Chain A
Amino acid sequence: MSGSAKNDSRVGGPCITVGDDVNTDVVIPGRYLITIDPDELAEHAFEPMGPEFQTRLYASKVVVAGENFGCGSAREQAATCLLGAGVEAVVAKTFAREFFRNAINNGLLAVESPQAVEVVSDDDEVWIDYEAGTVEAAGESFPFEPYPTVMRNILEAGGIIPYLAASLEEVSG
């Protein structure tokens, strides 16, 4: 999970869907930012959506969203609370800039695939093959734009901090 390197390039499982312009105050309300522990944060992930939604979230491996997912506040906990909740990837039509960076920086896969989002319903299985650059959903396979090298390196290390730790070790080692 958070901080662990990606050994398996294929992640996925049951998904939960949300709409367009979901802001990070909804993903993790500001009142809970007093911690950075993913497990504690997970208790309040998507709390404004209600307990039924949260129960389904905890059973999901992938969040599937519309346009501009993660807009608003730059709070990094919007990415880490999802990791704490057991989510391994977010597939969206588009991401807001800060959420996208925060996701990659914490080893949470974030992939833009408008076509996949169109065909997915709640509880469907969605799989992301990071090496192949595809999202598999509803029996179809959709390609996504590969990450630039700098992001690949960060993601493969499990996030920007483990990535940096490894490079610091290299320098001193």
Chain B
Amino acid sequence: MGATLAEKVLAEKSGTDEVAPGDIVEAVPDIYMSHVASWRCIDTLARLGTDHIEHPERIAMVMDHISPAGTDKIADDHRRCRTFAQQHGIDTFYDVEAGISHTVLMGEGLIQPGMLGIGTDSHTTIYGALGACGTGVGYSEITAAWVTGELWFKVPETLRVEIDGSLQTGVTAKDLMLKLIGDLGVDGANYMAVEFGGSYVPEATIEDRMTMCNLGKEMGAMFPVVPADARTVAYLEARGVGPDEYWSVAPDEDVDYADTYTMAADTFEPQIAKPHTVDNVSPVSEVAGTHVDQVFIGSCANGNYSDLAEAATILEGRNIHRDVRVIVTPASKEVMERATDDGLVSTFVKAGAMITNPGCSACAGDGGAMADGEVTLSTANRNYRGRMGSYDAEIYLSSPATAAASAIAGEIADPRTIDTIAEAR
């Protein structure tokens, strides 16, 4: 029997010929990412009483989640991380202006096919968009990996998700993932690798794949992954990384997957995840008309340039409903720069939205809090109770297109009916 992509990566990184699901391996990751939580690792290293770092060149630090600092405590956390990076010669340190760790590191060309990455953030799974295996760990594990260079992994079973056909007009990769999570449940792929395949996948841009592998975490996946193809090569080439610089690993043809799930891409409309779990999913038509107080467009799930462009197309020349506050947060400095140059920022501001600095923003509770009883429609990846302010507020999740249409309507709205919505206003 052949090997899955995750099995090949874990075998390679642990120096073994082959591995099987359930095996425990000691593997050496290619990258150890830590965000603002880096100070927790620094404290933990001090507790260990060592200064030894096995592979400083594999450490990446990005000051996201809370940026810029809102308190002197946070400012001190940032300063300690900065100082530590300087002292230990960590070149891949990105400060508070850079944006969300995942988007920044991928944009810098630091995440490449065949890599094994760990990060102090559950959405490190997003690395799968470039054919890499990324997964979230705790700060103690990152610290241990700093010191020893390695970490133990349980080889996961692999779920193959075959997506065939094309999405309907107005339906996005976000809708596809919400539909999938609704179908499989929030633990549908717990502790599993997920390989995306089928005729839809070559059509999906790298940004679509980022949304897919990011949201893969919301069904529990350890390594959601899209094997590298021509789009992966082009994305990395644009970032100065040629195909001879990485391992373009693919799953074997004759793999005995733990399970296979097949989806037809053209059979569903835009989807909404309702409070307070990501698998509480309905077609937009069933929740259209739900009042919203706030709309958030951003996050590592949907804060890329294409996501902002998707929202801007709908907001162009239109006005956001007077009762709705709209926060737009580009995922990275690179996205911010392009959105500024191309006029998207101007479109958002003229429509009545706020633009914030790149980062996690409202998704991490860094601004955009809600009062009791309020409702946010968000393009992020989580709608958990209390994630954005009051424990008595509600979060719905959608695509950027649905979020933009709803911002105009003042209530959840189907983006495919935007002309009717705008006329009615």
Contact = CB atoms under 8 A, between A and B. Distances in A.
A36 B43 contact: yes
The 8 A-B residue pairs with the shortest CB-CB distance, nearest first, are A76-B138, A74-B136, A68-B187, A25-B384, A74-B122, A102-B138, A48-B391, A48-B386
A76 B139 contact: yes
Nearest to A78: B138
Contacts of B282: none
Contacts of A96: 187, 190, 220
B48 A21 contact: no
Given A96-B187, A96-B220, A165-B49, A26 B152 contact: no
B386 A34 contact: no
B144 A74 contact: no
B144 A21 contact: no
Given A74-B137, A76-B140, A150-B152, A26 B384 contact: yes
Interface residues on B, range: 35 or more
Given A34-B73, A101-B141, A94 B277 contact: no
A21 B186 contact: yes
Contacts of A72: 122, 382, 384
Given A31-B365, A165-B48, A159 B140 contact: yes
Given A72-B382, A74-B122, A164-B148, A98 B138 contact: yes
A102 B386 CA distance: 22
A133 interface: no
Interface string A64-104: 00011001111110010000000000000010111001100
A25 B24 contact: no
Contact of B365 (A23, A26, A30, A47): A30
B402 interface: no
Interface of A: 21, 23, 25-26, 29-31, 33-34, 36, 47-48, 67-68, 71-76, 79, 94, 96-98, 101-102, 105-106, 148-150, 159-161, 164-165, 168
A33 B139 CA distance: 12
Contact of A105 (B138, B147, B365): B138
A148 B40 CA distance: 27
A21 B187 contact: yes
Interface string B173-208: 000000000000011001100000000000000000
A71 B186 contact: yes
A21 B181 CA distance: 13
A26 B384 CA distance: 8
A163 B154 CA distance: 19
B261 to A, nearest CB: 18
